[in-house]
Structure 1
Amino acid sequence: MGSAAITMVERATPRNLRDRELAVRLTFVAKDPNSNPTNSPTLYRTDRGSWLVQGFVVTDPDALAEMDIPEGESVVEIPDRMIQFFTEEGRGVAG
């Protein structure tokens, strides 16, 4: 699963992904080890210095009312234990 893949990302608005090209190379980083059988949340790095986060869509109206979410964006929730994978050390990358 550690190999990169070419994926198409749909552009929702001109601000989305800073109006970059649609093709992006993804590198799998980690799946939540405690989320069997769904294997979600999941983290991916892109070849353009950004992250894609698969998580649980936030639908709580009170939580969403506290955030200023622009059109074309959404909010996902991931557990604290996934934060470790955002660092090179947490991904097992030698520095």
Structure 2
Amino acid sequence: MDELMRGRVYGADHEDPDPGPQAGHVYRELVGGPLDGLLVDVTGWTERELDDGAALITEIGAYGPGGRALYEPRPSDPRRWDWGGDVP
């Protein structure tokens, strides 16, 4: 089993009995920063969107509730997205 198929998915409710990845979906692993270890569901994203990465809302980043954590694909392994900092 692919190691990316384990873990909790970004945005899953803390009360969700199955917060892990779902069959038929495509994920990227977030590395570093406030969302380290979570998976982000990129099912249906275009190549350009995947290349751009994401600014993900988080309450636990440097800017508190409503702030965003920036993640971009790792050049050597685009299945993993590295943290690039927080923005308001």
TM-score (normalizing by structure 1): 0.30
Structure label with greater radius of gyration: 1
Higher relative contact order (CA 8 A, sep 6+): 2
More strand by share: 2
More helix by share: 1
